Chains A and B, each alone.
Chain A
Amino acid sequence: MSTRKLYTLVTATAAAVALWLAPIPAAGQALPRSSDGKPDLSGVWQTVNTAAWNVLPHGAQFGIPAGLGVVEGDALPYNAEAAAKQRENFANRATADPESKCFLPGVPRATYMGVPFQILQTPTQISMVYEYAHTLRNVFMNTPHLEGPIEFWMGDSRGRWEGDTLVVDVVHFNSETWFDRAGNHHSEELHVVERYTPVSANHITYEATIEDPKVFTRPWKMSMPLYRRMERNIQILEYECYAFDEVLEGPLHRAP
């Protein structure tokens, strides 16, 4: 818990309400372009919202800022069994949340952990490098998914351009990651379609459509802006969760 509290304090200062932005490319405004004519999404990006605590609307609690939520319709379409599982997760979140074990955060959770990530763009591969847990995703462009079944923490990402929108199809997840610290969850049948639409040189509208027939009765969508970190000296640092003293002295590493 101490690691988590520390993290809460660090990120609380950066939190604000989520804005709904329509994914409309800015008319008449020049987007940065890469050499192949596609929008250039390179740079260091970060969300400014409270989805890390709860993707749904929630009031403030000690150490947790209030948030309007990032989910279209303000509710998740759980089936009955999955809804019960979420309530159980919530009750046990202090120890059950994979974040408390320093596990890789999964997708889309990695996007809104409250620390920045960097996009490195080439025509054939777009890599996303996250400060959280030092993890990465390689989005291979215009290639088929690996043949499953495979259970990755961060999934298997395949990208394509639809106009000025980068569309990333992600499958091959395990059932271990959550969407947030409120116990919202999925199964290994999770299928995420992300859409990154630049709306200015310094903003991207991020949308993620979630399908999981074992857990949800229908697809649902979350949406939030990504903001470019404008500091001239910005660089990805590290949040090496498992390497903190508090974690090393905990059950994860304790001498047998």
Chain B
Amino acid sequence: MTMQPAVNIVGAALLVAAPFAAELGGQTADKPMVPYGQLGGCSEKPAEFHPCAIEKAKTFTPPRMPDGTPDFRGNWARSRVSTDDLEEHPPIWMGSYDDPGGVTMIVDPADGKVPQQPWAKALQLTHRPTYRDPQSSCFLPSPPRQAYGPMGYQILQTPAGLTFLQEQSHAARVVPTDGRPHISPNILLAFGDSRGRWEGNTLVVDVTNIRPQIWFDHAGHFYSSAVHILERWTMIAPDAIHYTATITDPKVFTRPWTIAIPIRRNNDPNYELLESACIEGARVEYTEMGLKTYPYYGAKIP
């Protein structure tokens, strides 16, 4: 019915291969960065997309659910986003692992750098040479990575709230919008504990209780269990979402910081989410690839 199985196989291969670029001796020369395009009338480059999208949102009227809230239903995926590193980085072309290269996804602070504390920066730089990206060990893409992971997701909107059905790892993230309080801090969850609310046409999601078992990117930027993420999802055109996430974690960063990315609607009428199981095949991949990095057990927070 759809062409998705082939796409999934490619996606799974990328998912496994991606973090090992350094280990396998990445060849980054020769080809230039893949150019950025346009989405929703804005450049896809975060520094340009972010202010442009804020302007577009002032005049765009999104489709509505029967209860009047904006209708986010449909299939979505990151647009031109490169997650090898949140910060600016060159392209990598190895065949087994390709990254188009990218400008920084960070719109605040203005220097486009993750404002890590000195110890955190030193630790982060050891991550890629030492560990597999936890995403490649099949850990769920915790927010905000859920929004910009390599595969698409479907947004369901029901009286229970909004639900992100992820192709990657075949998992679901439920965002209640009924005003209930966060769960006890004793409970840590891979997808965190999400609470949604509407601010005008923007879905604001407050995420706490995140288990610090995943990185923001292949470059190993990390956070602690104290992290608090405030997401803002705003439709700026029928097929475009302006996504921002403000990350606060006083244990790791010197100040709150914000990423912004474009998210594009998948308009293929035959598209269906299929199953992308992960851990079930991971051991074979590790063995066959002869990897020498180690799984990542979570940030060692002093």
Contacts and interface: CB of A to CB of B under 8 A. Distances in A.
A255 B183 CA distance: 34
Nearest to B161: A120
A154 B183 CA distance: 29
A88 interface: no
Contacts of B277: 103-104, 152-153
A248 B132 CA distance: 13
Interface stretch (A45-53, A191-199, A205-213, A232-240): A232-240
A134 B190 contact: yes
Nearest to B181: A233
* Interface of A: prevailing SS: loop
B1 A144 contact: yes
B275 interface: yes
Nearest to B290: A256
B149 to A, nearest CB: 14
In this complex, which of B66, B138, B172, B290 has the most chain A Cβ atoms within 10 angstroms of its Cβ?
Answer: B172
Interface stretch (B81-89, B162-170, B215-223, B244-252): B162-170
Given A102-B279, A256-B287, A127 B172 contact: yes
22 contacts: A103-B277, A104-B170, A104-B277, A121-B158, A125-B156, A135-B170, A136-B170, A138-B154, A138-B165, A143-B1, A146-B274, A153-B277, A176-B280, A235-B174, A237-B187, A238-B190, A243-B211, A243-B213, A248-B295, A252-B279, A253-B137, A256-B286
Interface of B: 1-2, 5, 66, 137-140, 154, 156, 158-160, 163, 165, 169-172, 174, 176, 180, 183, 187, 189-191, 211, 213, 272-275, 277, 279-280, 282-283, 286-287, 290-292, 294-295, 297
Given A138-B272, A243-B213, A253-B295, 11 more contacts: A104-B280, A120-B158, A127-B165, A134-B171, A136-B165, A136-B170, A140-B272, A150-B5, A233-B183, A256-B290, A256-B292
